[in-house]
A = this chain, B = another copy of it.
Amino acid sequence: MLLLQRAVVSEFRQACRLKSTPSKLCIRACSTNDSFQPQCPSLTFSGNNSSTRGWRVTGTLLGLGAVLAYYDYRCKAAQESPRIYTREEVRSHSSPETRIWVTLGSEVFDVTEFVDLHPGGPSKLMLAAGGPLEPFWALYAVHNQSHVREILAQYKIGELSPEDKVPSTLKTSDPYADDPIRHPALKVNSQRPFNAEPPSELLTENYITPNPIFFTRNHLPVPNLDPETYRLHVVGPPGGQSLSLSLDDLYQFPKHEITVTLQCAGNRRSEMTQFKEVRGLEWSTGAISTAHWAGARLCDVLAQAGHQLCETEAHVCFEGLDSDPTGTAYGASIPLARAMDPEAEVLLAYEMNGQPLPRDHGFPVRVVVPGVVGARHVKWLGKLSVEPEESYSHWQRRDYKGFSPSVDWDTVDFDSAPSIQELPVQSAITEPKDGETVESGEVTVKGYAWSGGGRAVIRVDVSLDGGLTWQVAELDEEEQRPRKAWAWRLWQLQAPVPAGKKELNIVCKAVDDSYNVQPDTVAPIWNLRGVLSNAWHRVHVHVHAAP
Contact = CB atoms under 8 A, between A and B. Distances in A.
A470 B519 CA distance: 16
A422 B337 contact: no
- Which label, helix, strand, loop or mixed, suits the secondary structure of the A interface? loop
A244 interface: no
A370 interface: no
Interface string A117-148: 00000000000000000000000000000000
A8 B420 CA distance: 51
Contacts of A421: 513-514
A509 B482 contact: no
Contacts of A418: 458, 513
Q: How many protomers of this protein does the assembly include?
A: 2
A424 B425 CA distance: 11
Interface in A398-440: 402, 404-407, 417-418, 420-425
Interface string A504-531: 0000010101111111110011000000
Given A483-B337, A519-B518, A519-B519, A469 B406 contact: yes
A472 B337 contact: no
A407 B425 CA distance: 22
A458 B520 CA distance: 20
Contacts of A337: 482-483
A150 interface: no
Interface string A294-333: 0000000000000000000100000000000000000000
A532 interface: yes
Contact of A520 (B422, B424, B470, B521): B521
B404 A470 contact: yes
A461 interface: yes
A423 B472 contact: no
A335 interface: yes
A540 B365 CA distance: 56
Given A313-B482, A482-B335, A482-B337, A402 B524 contact: no
A452 B425 CA distance: 14
A197 to B, nearest CB: 21
A404 B461 contact: yes
Interface string A321-354: 0000000000000010100000000000000000
A33 interface: no
Contact of A402 (B469, B482, B515): B515
Contacts of A459: 402, 404, 417
A453 B525 CA distance: 22
Nearest to A453: B514
Contacts of A402: 459, 511, 515
A424 B516 contact: yes
A518 B461 CA distance: 17
A467 interface: yes
A452 B516 CA distance: 10
Contacts of A521: 520
A520 B520 contact: yes
A46 interface: no
A471 interface: yes
Contacts of A406: 461, 469-472
Contacts of A461: 404-406, 524
A446 to B, nearest CB: 18
A288 to B, nearest CB: 15
B515 A424 contact: yes
Nearest to A403: B459
Of the listed residues A405, A407, A421, A517, the one surrounded by the most CB atoms of chain B closer than 10 A to its CB is A517
8 contacts: A404-B472, A405-B461, A405-B469, A405-B470, A406-B461, A422-B513, A424-B515, A516-B516
Given A418-B513, A422-B514, A517-B519, 12 more contacts: A313-B482, A402-B459, A404-B472, A406-B472, A421-B514, A422-B513, A424-B514, A424-B517, A425-B516, A452-B514, A517-B525, A520-B521
Which A-B residue pairs are the 5 nearest by beta carbons? A520-B520, A422-B514, A424-B516, A516-B516, A424-B515
